[in-house]
Structure 1
Amino acid sequence: MTPGARLQAAIELLASIHAGTAPADRAAHEFFRARRYIGGGDRREVLGLIYAVLRARARLDWWIARAWPAEAPRSEETDRLRLVAALLLIEGWNADRVAGSFDGGQYRPALLSREERALLKALAGQTLDHPEQPDWVRFEYPEWLDAPLRAALGDRFESEMRALMEEAATDIRVNALKADRTAAIRALKAEKVEARPTSLSPWGLRVEGRPPLASLEVFKSGAIEVQDEGSQLVALLTDARPGQRVVDFCAGAGGKTLALAAQMQNKGHIVACDVLEGRILRASTRLRRAGVHNVERRALSTERDPWVKRHAAAFDRVLVDAPCSGSGTWRRNPDQKWRLAPGDLEELLALQESILKSAARLVKQGGRLVYATCALLPAENEGQIRRFLETHDKFHVVPVADVWRTAIGGEGPAEGEFLRLSPARQGTDGFFVAVLEREK
C-alpha cells in the first residue's frame, strides 16, 4: 500500500471503531478480515496510526478545537481531523508531507479543505502536550470521571493515570496441562520470541515486542494462552482444587476458565456460564487446543436464570469476574473509556450487585465466592462487597494475603483484606479481587 492508502485505511478503521460497540481490537480484526489484500506490514502501520490516535484522543481534540478556523467540524469529519493532527503532533510529519498524502488519488484521502489546511498551519511546530490542557485532557479520561478517579487513586493519581496511557505489555499464561515455564520459554525462543517470567504469577511470561503469537506452533499446540498477569492472578486466587465443583459465572470467552482447569489438573467439574451465548460457545476451540475436558459450557438467560436456583449450594468455588467500567484495562482498550457515560456506570453498579447476589446462591457451606473486576473505582469494588455483606451475614471476607500464601505461596501485594493491582505499581492491568467464604 502507498502511504496515502494506509492513511485512508486508518481513517476508515477509526470511523468503524467509533460507529460500533466492539472494542478497538475486535473491530480491527473484523476490518482486516474483510480486507485480506492488506498485508502484514501495512496492517501494523495502520494499527500503529489508529492506536496513536486512540491513546491521544483528548489531546488531539483539544488542539483541533483550539485551532479549527470555523464552527465546530461535522462529526463525520472528526476521525480524519484526528489523524491529520496525529501526523503532525505525534508522528512528526511536516505540513507539506501531510498535504501531499491527502491528494485525492485512488485509495488515498480526499484533498484537504481550506479549513483543514488552516488547521495544518496552526498545528505545525506544536507538541501534543500543552501547559493549558486540563488534567482530564492531559491524562486522557472523560471529564466527568475526574472526581471518582481522584478519590480512588489518591496521591497516586498522576502516576497511575500516566501508566494507563501507556501501551500494555504482552503477557502469556503457560498451560500447566501441557508445559511448564522453562519448556515454554525454550519453545518460544526456538520461534524467535524472547520471554521472561512474570514477577507475581507462577504461570506467567512476558514477551518482548508484539510477536504474532497466534501463528506460533507453541500457541497452536495449546502450551500457551494470551492472558494478562493480573487476570492470571484472579484465577489463582480462586484456589480451585482438583476434584472440586467450580463455576466461572461470567466466563466470557473462557480465559479464566482455562486457567481454572489447569489449576484443577483437569479433575473435577467446571461450569462456564455467560449470558452471551455466542461467546461461551466459541470457547470450544480454546478448550480443545488447551486439552481441557472438565468444562461444561452453559448459556444463561440472565444472571437470575432458573439454573442458578436449581444448583443452589452445590459448588466449592464460584468466580464472579463481573462486567465493569473496564477502567483498569484502558491501556489495552483506550477507546472504551470514551464510550462510558454516567448513566452507564449506575447501570453497571446495579448489574454487579444483582450478579453477586445471584451467584452467591451457588456457593456451598464452607465454599468460596470470589468477586473480581478490572476496574479502579471503589463503587465497583469495595462498595459492592460492603453492600453484599450487609445483607448476607453467612459470608465473611477471607483476607487475600491468606489465600495468596495458600494458593500461590509467599507474600503477595495485597492491601488490607483485598487485592488491588495497577499498571503503575505491578505492571498489570488494574484489578480488584475479594474472597468471601460461606459459613459451614
Structure 2
Amino acid sequence: MTPAARLQATLDLMHDVDRVARPADAVVSAWFRSRRHIGDKDRGQISNLLYALLRHHARLGWWLAKHGRPDVPRNRLLAWLALDGGKTPDQVHGLFNGGKFAPAVLRDHERALLVKLQGCPMDHPAMPDEVRFECPSWAVEPLRRRFHDAFGREMAALLTAAPLDLRVNPLKSTREVMLRGLRDLGLPAEAAPMAPYGIRVKERPSLASLPMLKSGEVEIQDEGSQLVAMLVDARPGERVVDFCAGAGGKTLAIAAQMANKGHVMACDVLEGRLKRAAERFRRAGLHNIETRPLAGETDRWVKRHKGSFDRVLVDAPCSGTGTWRRNPDARWRPLGAGLDHLLPLQARILASAARLVKPGGRLVYATCSMLPEENEEQAAAFLAAHPAFQVVPLREAAPQLTFSAHPDYLSLTPARHDTDGFFAAVMQREAMPSAE
C-alpha cells in the first residue's frame, strides 16, 4: 500500500471504531478479517497509527476545539500529522491528494488548520490534567489519591504501547524451546522478568504467523495477569473455581499449574464467552476444566457447593483502568452505570464466591484496576465483614514477588512493572477446629 492508501485505511477504521459500540481491538480484528488482501506490514502500520490516535484522543480533541474544528476522524488525523508527525501543509496535501485509495483533497479550512498547528507541540500549558494525561474526569481524583507524586509518571506510562506478553503452556512445551522458536521466526523475544512461564516479544507480529499460538503451546496473556493466576497456587488434585472466568486466560494458567489433575470450574454470567473459552481449553490440551454459566453472583449453584473448593479466584468486573495502555479507547467509553454500580457489585460477587471456599482454603480477589476503591478498600471491607477470612501477606503467599507496590497485596502498575495495572489480595479461610 502507498502511504496515502494507509492513511485512508486508517480513516475508514477510525470511523468504524467511533461508530461501533465495541472495544477497538475487536473492531480492528473484524475489520482486517474482512480485508485479507492487506499484508502484514501494512496491517501493522495501520494498527499502530490507529492506536496512536486513540492514545492522543483528548489532546487532539482539545486542539481541534481550540481552533473551532469538529472532533471527527479526518480532523483528528490531520491534527496528528501536524502535531506529532511534524508535517507541513504541503506534505499533507501530497498525501490527501484525492488519488485512487487516497484521502480526498484538502479543503481550504483544513489547510488553514494545518497552518495554525504547524510547529505546535502536542501538549500545551493550558490543557487541564484530564486532557494532558488522557484521563477521564471521573478517574482523576481516585488515581491522584492512589499515586500521589507519581500520578504524572503513571499516566505517562499508560500512554505508551503495551508489549506482547505470552505464557508458555508447560503441558506442551518449555520457555526455552518457545524462546528459540520465536527467535527462529525472526522475533526479538526474551524471558519475562517476573512470571516463570512468561515471554515478552518486543515487536507485535501478525498473530496468524505464530504456529505455537495455534498449537496451544503459548497463550497471549499480560505478565501481570500471569502473576495473579500464580497467586491462586492451585495444586494437582485440588478443586478450584475461577468465578469470573471471562475468556478463560487465568483459567488456562490455573489448570496448567495443576498438571491437568484435579478439577477447575470456570464460571461466568456470559455463556458465550465460556463457549469460546472452551475452544482455548481444548487447544491447550487441558481436560480438567468444566464450564458453568451462572445466572448471577447468587446463582443457586453457589449455595449447593458451599465449602467445596480448595481455591477460589474472583477476577471481578471493574473499571479496567489498569488496561488503558492496552485498550486506549476504553477510557473514553461509558463506564456502564459507573463506580456507584461497580463497587457494590464487586462486594456482592466477592461475598458470594467466598461461600465456595472450604475451611483452610484460599480466596483470591483480583481486578485490572488501579483505583483504591476497587482494590485495597474493597478487600478491607470484605475482611471486616467476614472474620473467618484473614489476609495472607504477599511475602507469605508469594515470597518471590518482592517488587509489589504494597506489602500485603499484589499491586502492579505500567510505570513500575511494565505490566497492565493489576491488584490481587490473597485471603485464607480459617481451618475447622481439630477434634479433641
TM-score norm. by structure 1 comes to 0.93
Give the direction of change, closer, same or farther, for the CA distance of 1:430–1:10 in structure 2 (3 Å limit).
same
Cα distance in 2 for residues equivalent to 1:37 and 1:147: 46
2:434 is aligned to none
Quote how far apart the aligned CAs of 1:255 are.
0.7
1:172 is aligned to 166
Q: 1:155-194 residue pairs with structure 2 within 5 A?
A: 155-194=149-188
Opposite residue 11 of structure 2, the aligned amino acid is I
Opposite residue 15 of structure 2, the aligned amino acid is A
Quote how far apart the aligned CAs of 1:10 are.
1.3
Query: Which residue among 120, 136, 147 is the counterpart of 2:141?
Result: 147
Cα distance in 2 for residues equivalent to 1:16 and 1:165: 22
* 1:110 counterpart = 2:101: no
2:44 is aligned to 44
Query: Which residue among 321, 326, 338 is the counterpart of 2:320?
Result: 326
What is the aligned-residue identity percentage?
Answer: 55
Cα distance in 2 for residues equivalent to 1:146 and 1:173: 33
Residues 417-436 of structure 1 show CA distances to partners (whole Å, capped at 9, x for unaligned) of 11111111111111111011
Q: Once superposed, what is the RMSD of the aligned Cα atoms? A: 1.8
Opposite residue 274 of structure 2, the aligned amino acid is I
Quote how far apart the aligned CAs of 1:133 are.
2.1
SS in 2 for 1:278: helix
* 1:236 counterpart = 2:227: no
TM-score norm. by structure 2 comes to 0.94
1:417 is aligned to 408
* 1:28 counterpart = 2:22: no
1:260 is aligned to 254
Q: For this pair of structures, how many residues does the alignment match?
A: 431
Cα distance in 2 for residues equivalent to 1:414 and 1:134: 28
1:120 is aligned to 114
Cα distance in 1 for residues equivalent to 2:405 and 2:172: 30
Give the direction of change, closer, same or farther, for the CA distance of 1:414–1:46 in structure 2 (3 Å limit).
closer
Quote how far apart the aligned CAs of 1:191 are.
2.1
* 8 A contact 1:144–1:342 mirrored in 2: no
Quote how far apart the aligned CAs of 1:42 are.
2.1
Cα distance in 1 for residues equivalent to 2:55 and 2:118: 20
* 1:361 counterpart = 2:355: yes
Cα distance in 2 for residues equivalent to 1:318 and 1:242: 15
Residues 145-186 of structure 1 show CA distances to partners (whole Å, capped at 9, x for unaligned) of 221110011121111111111111111111111122222212
Cα distance in 1 for residues equivalent to 2:145 and 2:402: 27
Cα distance in 2 for residues equivalent to 1:354 and 1:193: 44
Opposite residue 6 of structure 1, the aligned amino acid is R
* 8 A contact 1:23–1:335 mirrored in 2: yes
Give the direction of change, closer, same or farther, for the CA distance of 1:284–1:215 in structure 2 (3 Å limit).
farther
Unaligned runs of 5+ in 2: 432-436
* 1:18 counterpart = 2:18: yes
* 1:89 counterpart = 2:80: no
Cα distance in 2 for residues equivalent to 1:103 and 1:422: 44
Cα distance in 2 for residues equivalent to 1:82 and 1:7: 12
Query: Which residue among 383, 393, 396 is the counterpart of 1:402?
Result: 396
SS in 1 for 2:398: helix
* 8 A contact 1:401–1:414 mirrored in 2: no
